[in-house]
Structure 1
Amino acid sequence: MFRGLHRDVEHTGEFIVIGLGRFGSALATTLIDMGHEVLGIDADGERVQELSGVLTHVAQADTTSPKALKQLGVADAVTVAVCIGADVEASVLTTAALSDLEIPNIWAKAFTEPHGRILSRVGAHHVVFPEAEMGTRVAHLLTGEVIEYLALDGDFVLIETVTPPWLVGQQLGETNLRRDFKVTVVCVKPESGAFTYAERDTVLGANDLVVVAGHRADIDRFASAV
């Protein structure tokens, strides 16, 4: 799940990741793997020490303090991700402090809808709900109806699945998927080939993989029909 203003901000310089628990450390190390510079900040000295030498810079600090953030140079940052764990108060106060510093691109992790609303009100430009998103994804995978499930935002998703029996041997242009399910087949992977664009005259095989896009409720109806 995701909620945000979808602001178009061109990032420059170091990424700042505040909160180096499982989510924050995974985010920070992935950014490093992608070739970016990252400053990781946490109130826990042990967590900071664990990532010393892994991230570009690390620091132990109370991020609810605007003074501490300024001393670390956070006021000059473009993008900051607040990934603080279960301490909701620290999460909110840190986000508010970043907003006071006029950081142009603030991302914040939320646990609940009320938490997310508060983060938005105190200045977060983007709010993510990783636990809720993962729960939704795993639920779809557990049913065996889909191979992969990706939410692009709160209401639009992509799924990867094997061609359902009732579509095998049909040309996509003759299936009326848009009319009946309001979904679109984006691409197809033939059993012995690679992914390619889906065309109106594409004929689906029994073991082909298809990637389908649509609104969550429509995708759920399509997946259930599979």
Structure 2
Amino acid sequence: MADSIDKDSVLVIGLGRFGSALAGTLDHLDRRVLGVERDPELIRTWSGRIPLVEADATNPEALEQLGVRDFHTAVVGVGTHLEASVLITGNLVDFEVPQIWAKAISAEHGRILRRIGAHHVVYPEYDAGLRVAHLVSGKMLDYIEMEDGFAIVKMAPPKELWGFTVGQAQVRKRYGVTIIGVKPPGQPFQYATDETRIDPTDVLIVSGDSTLLERFAARP
């Protein structure tokens, strides 16, 4: 049964801002996506824009009728209603959906979701706040935190690097971070080598420990 499941199939439950953005993007990427929402107003809002159905996913029978067993991935976009979030996630676990992603609005909420079997827990509001905080506090143009304090940032080059190659700058030795790539204005991204020259108008893609990246990005 599991071998016959389309691995590109995604069931998105809850079409609030998070769920609708997710479902719309997946549909645009030609994934087989189905949105599930019980609010008639949201159904009317998204009708004709993404594949969807009106149903109450807290009810196992409703999920059964939707063919939940045919989906490789399910995303629980319900976050503000804790009881509904937990019930829906539990139902998906009972149906043995291979990959279950669930939205959480607090650390406690996330722990509960993991305990009942969610494979991945996401914190959209927290992650967005963390990202914006890093952007407004320095010269970073974008910020993505991975795991265990590792992050990737897009930033303008500090003045001390202007006119030097990556090899000459010795950023990894001096600051403990790695320049992954350089993007000159109007030019495509290029992976950095020791010979890559850094100009004032370039954009750097840098990876490393988030604390070290903060220090590096704060340099004039």
Task: Kindly report which structure 2 residues correspond to 1:1-226, keeping only aligned pairs within 5 A, or say none.
Answer: 12=7, 14-56=9-51, 58-153=52-147, 155-191=149-185, 193-226=187-220
Work out the number of aligned pairs and report it. Answer: 216
- The alignment partner of 1:78 has SS state of strand
For the Cα contact (< 8 Å) 2:6–2:70, is it kept in 1? no
Determine which structure has greater relative contact order: mean sequence separation of CA pairs < 8 Å that are 6+ residues apart, divided by chain length: 1
Off by >4 Å, runs of 4+ in structure 1: none
Query: Quick one: which amino acid aligns to residue 116 of structure 1?
Result: G
- Greater displacement, 59-68 / 76-85: 59-68
Give the CA deviation at 1:86.
0.6
Query: Quick one: which amino acid aligns to residue 13 of structure 2?
Result: I
TM-score normalised to the size of structure 2?
Answer: 0.90
Q: Distance in 2 between matches of 1:154 and 1:88?
A: 27
TM-score normalised to the size of structure 1?
Answer: 0.88
Q: Distance in 2 between matches of 1:203 and 1:13?
A: 41
Task: Give the percent of matched residue pairs that are identical in Structure 1 and Structure 2.
Answer: 43
Q: Distance in 2 between matches of 1:55 and 1:11?
A: 19
For the Cα contact (< 8 Å) 2:143–2:154, is it kept in 1? yes
For the Cα contact (< 8 Å) 1:21–1:85, is it kept in 2? no
Q: Distance in 2 between matches of 1:153 and 1:94?
A: 27
- The alignment partner of 2:7 has SS state of coil
Give the CA deviation at 1:191.
4.1
Q: Distance in 1 between matches of 2:135 and 2:8?
A: 38
For the Cα contact (< 8 Å) 1:37–1:55, is it kept in 2? no
Instruction: Say if 1:116 and 1:63 are closer, same or farther in 2 by CA, change over 3 A.
Output: same
- Greater displacement, 19-28 / 138-147: 138-147
Query: Quick one: which amino acid aligns to residue 80 of structure 2?
Result: A
Query: Quick one: which amino acid aligns to residue 184 of structure 2?
Result: P
For the Cα contact (< 8 Å) 1:191–1:205, is it kept in 2? no
Q: Distance in 2 between matches of 1:27 and 1:192?
A: 30
Instruction: Say if 1:63 and 1:154 are closer, same or farther in 2 by CA, change over 3 A.
Output: farther
Query: Quick one: which amino acid aligns to residue 84 of structure 2?
Result: A
Q: Tell me, which stretches of 5 or more residues in structure 2 are unaligned?
A: none
Instruction: Say if 1:125 and 1:192 are closer, same or farther in 2 by CA, change over 3 A.
Output: closer
